[in-house]
Structure 1
Amino acid sequence: MTPSLIPRAPLTLVALLAVSLLAGCASKSEPRYTPKELQRFEASAELDSDWRQRVGRGLGRAQYPIAPDLDGGVIFAADERGRVMAVDAESGERLWQNDLETGVSSGLTAVANQIYLGTRNGEVLALSQEDGEVVWRSRVSSEVLAPPQPNQQLLVVQSVDGAVTALDRHTGDERWVHTSSQPPLTLRGTGTPQVIDPVTFAGFANGRLTTLDNRSGQPLWERRIAVPQGRSEIERLVDLNGQPVLTPDGRLFVTSYNGRLVALEATSGNILWEREHSSYLTPVLVGNVLFTVNEASHIIALDADSGTELWRNRDLEGRWLTSPAFADGNLVLGDFEGYLHLVDTRSGDFVARTRIDRSGISVRPLTDYRRIYVLANNGRLEALDLRR
């Protein structure tokens, strides 16, 4: 999602408008990176549209990060007014629709016959995958922008005030709350926790990564990923807005805005390697290569063992790319003009490109081997097949 800034204290309307114009910038009132024009290339694959569906009014003017989710061959999607629907991933047929009558603000998480989402008024809802009916609803301390994250017993929710709340996944009852200090100004959005059965890894707008014991919510270790620098509050933004990436062998990869990309040991927080890297997006790990998109919308491939740069694609600079997804040897990314780009993971070269919708793409595409599902900002949901 394109970042904007959110103040932690009341501001006048004029001030709020001025702040929103500074989205993604450190100290200038104009964008730091001018969007590059797209250049022609020789495509080695095609993206064929298979079906289209409409998800209400989409992300709304605020472009809430309402990313859909895929589970059991069904796509679950919502719009900012609270319309939730289930769509057959193969045919595009709408299976059901439910109007919640409350504004949805977070991405959806679909798992184990339920759908979890957050709202603008600080509610967390569990819905049935079968018919969209509300199973339970619970309240947390403030607006929820990050998709709720489950383990076997808990649903962990990070809200915009910096609180992390663990709810009982089956009833919605509160189990524990962890709070953190927040700077006066942050990017609009929060980090998405990485949750496994014993612990939760959570990144905060103060530049810190904390590991929480899921039995009690108590911190086990904490590591500063980014250090605020500069005189103004905008220059000192160090949000950890991406989700930490956890590997089966116990490594964590964490990005930060105006900070670093860090690889750590998940059990201790010890740093394995680090490099200067400003990003508000979640990277993706494919094999032993980490793919990340920095704030300039450069796509970068790194050796996951050392952090050594393998290749960099600068051709989409300033185009406000989404977090990357992976499909059949390619990275899949959307941009602010609604183009979907496929990039070869080995070389960084373009493989295919198509335009989904002029309203733009702000949320990470869904992928299922050679099929790609893309939600545009205005609610257009499209399925595409990747053909060599």
Structure 2
Amino acid sequence: MIVRFPIVRAATVGLLVIGLAGCNTIKGWFGKGDKTAEAGEPAELVDFEPAFKPERLWRESIGKGEQRLWLRQAPAVAEGRVYTADASGRVKALALETGREVWAVKSKLRYSTSPGVGAGYVVVGTMEGQVVALDADTGGERWSVRVLSEVASRPLISEGLAIVRSSDGRVYGLDLADGRRRWVFARGLPALTVRGNGAPVLGQGVVYVGYDDGTVVALRAQDGLRVWERSVAEPEGRSELDRMADVDGELAVGLDAVFAASFKGRLAALTANGGSPVWNRELKSATGVALARDRVLAVDVQGDVWALDRNNGNAVWRQDALAMRWLSSPAVQGEHAVVGDLEGYLHWLRLDSGDFVARIKHGGDPIRATPQVSPEGILVVVDTDGRLAAYRIGGG
């Protein structure tokens, strides 16, 4: 069911719901329907009247996919093309509108990241710590360098640099022309962390990185100097498991604020220029956040989809009918939030209300990577078996 939060009591109800997250289920507090999942079981899909039918433009196989590696390898969409990489050593470029293969390269490298694309380059990292730059037009190799450990998040292309985050906590600024190391930022990690890393994101010449100790760090893109750091959640508890506070999901950057979610159970808005807290609320997420107009979208570890007021963090609505379906991080396509689930379904929800408006079966395997949306409004999604497809909806 969907729960909407009137403005006058949004904060109170939101805290009540999240405060019960440690229980096996919280559905009974808001009424339990026939379709509600038992504790730990994926919810059965509810029936609804679709508002539209998403149009599948094309569908292709890009290889074996990430399977059970939990890499969350999303495609990259740029300048009318879709770029993909997978652990079997394939990197491909396809036409966005038709899915036609533009080029493909195969190697023995085990690619572990989504492609980073920009300035005529496609940059991909591997499980062995290799960083490879390809020509975006031809797929030809431009350069290849090695860092000290696995690269587990999408490289960021900015200001003549490929900014790469490795799984040991280091962030590298590599010269985009030849891969030469221009700077490196090092930070220690806890003994136990969630698999994977959130990708570095850019805003106003600053690179923002979420860390496994629950902090967000802002670095100057040009030289890697730390501008500020702020804790989103404190790693507290007796055991290493209790202290897991990873900020591993996707960060979102607005004009004046950075939004981050922690596995420990906090979601925060920080000022972009100094890291000062704007607001901080309870919400436990491993997938990260997305921005849509005046709202922050997030999926919690129970599988509930949330829309929060961007200015104060108050809950606007919560959709709990996808409980325990292991949802992807949300994407925004037109006036809708889109998430994928463990059975290969894509779900479209209204941004203003959280109501379901469309659903389509993409394939039979989980969709873990965040769906990507082009400037033209085309949504591109890949599942763990390497099925890649593009979808268009009426009005974008």
Aligned partner of residue 175 in structure 1, secondary structure: strand
Cα deviation, 1:196-252, whole Å, max 9, x if unaligned, reads: 46322111101111122334323222111111232221121100112321112x211
Give the superposition deviation at 1:331: 0.7
CA distance in 1, matches of 2:325, 2:97: 30
Match of 2:343 among 337, 342, 345: 337
What residue number does 1:361 align with? 367
From the superposition, tell whether residues 32 and 271 of structure 1 become closer, same or farther in structure 2 (CA, over 3 Å).
Answer: farther
- Answer whether contact 2:251 2:290 (CA < 8 A) is retained: no
What residue number does 2:220 align with? 213
1:84 maps to 2:99:
no
Match of 1:299 among 298, 301, 305: 305
Give the superposition deviation at 1:33: 3.7
Aligned partner of residue 54 in structure 2, secondary structure: strand
Say which is worse superposed, 116-125 or 362-371, in terms of deviation: 362-371
From the superposition, tell whether residues 113 and 303 of structure 1 become closer, same or farther in structure 2 (CA, over 3 Å).
Answer: same
Give the superposition deviation at 1:32: 7.2
Aligned partner of residue 382 in structure 1, secondary structure: strand
From the superposition, tell whether residues 200 and 370 of structure 1 become closer, same or farther in structure 2 (CA, over 3 Å).
Answer: closer
One-letter code of the match for 2:263?
Answer: Y
From the superposition, tell whether residues 346 and 143 of structure 1 become closer, same or farther in structure 2 (CA, over 3 Å).
Answer: same
- Answer whether contact 1:323 1:364 (CA < 8 A) is retained: yes
4+ residue runs over 3 A deviation:
25-28
CA distance in 2, matches of 1:74, 1:198: 26
| TM-score normalised by structure 1 residue count | 0.89
CA distance in 2, matches of 1:306, 1:288: 10
CA distance in 2, matches of 1:64, 1:272: 31
One-letter code of the match for 1:297?
Answer: G
How many residue pairs get aligned? The number is 361
- Answer whether contact 1:255 1:280 (CA < 8 A) is retained: yes
Aligned partner of residue 177 in structure 2, secondary structure: coil
From the superposition, tell whether residues 230 and 292 of structure 1 become closer, same or farther in structure 2 (CA, over 3 Å).
Answer: same
What residue number does 2:174 align with? 167
What residue number does 2:208 align with? 201
Aligned partner of residue 236 in structure 1, secondary structure: coil
One-letter code of the match for 1:252?
Answer: V
Aligned partner of residue 58 in structure 2, secondary structure: strand
- Answer whether contact 1:78 1:104 (CA < 8 A) is retained: yes
| TM-score normalised by structure 2 residue count | 0.87
CA distance in 2, matches of 1:33, 1:159: 33
1:151 maps to 2:142:
no
1:274 maps to 2:283:
no
Match of 1:327 among 333, 339, 344: 333
Give the superposition deviation at 1:75: 0.6
1:69 maps to 2:82:
no
From the superposition, tell whether residues 27 and 230 of structure 1 become closer, same or farther in structure 2 (CA, over 3 Å).
Answer: farther
1:58 maps to 2:65:
yes
What residue number does 1:241 align with? 248
One-letter code of the match for 2:101?
Answer: R
Supply the RMSD in Å over aligned alpha carbons: 2.0
From the superposition, tell whether residues 49 and 191 of structure 1 become closer, same or farther in structure 2 (CA, over 3 Å).
Answer: closer
Aligned partner of residue 185 in structure 1, secondary structure: coil
Match of 1:372 among 376, 379, 383: 379
CA distance in 1, matches of 2:233, 2:338: 28
CA distance in 1, matches of 2:257, 2:135: 34
CA distance in 2, matches of 1:172, 1:45: 47
One-letter code of the match for 2:180?
Answer: D
From the superposition, tell whether residues 215 and 373 of structure 1 become closer, same or farther in structure 2 (CA, over 3 Å).
Answer: closer
CA distance in 1, matches of 2:222, 2:56: 46
Aligned partner of residue 381 in structure 2, secondary structure: strand
Aligned partner of residue 187 in structure 1, secondary structure: coil
Aligned partner of residue 53 in structure 1, secondary structure: strand
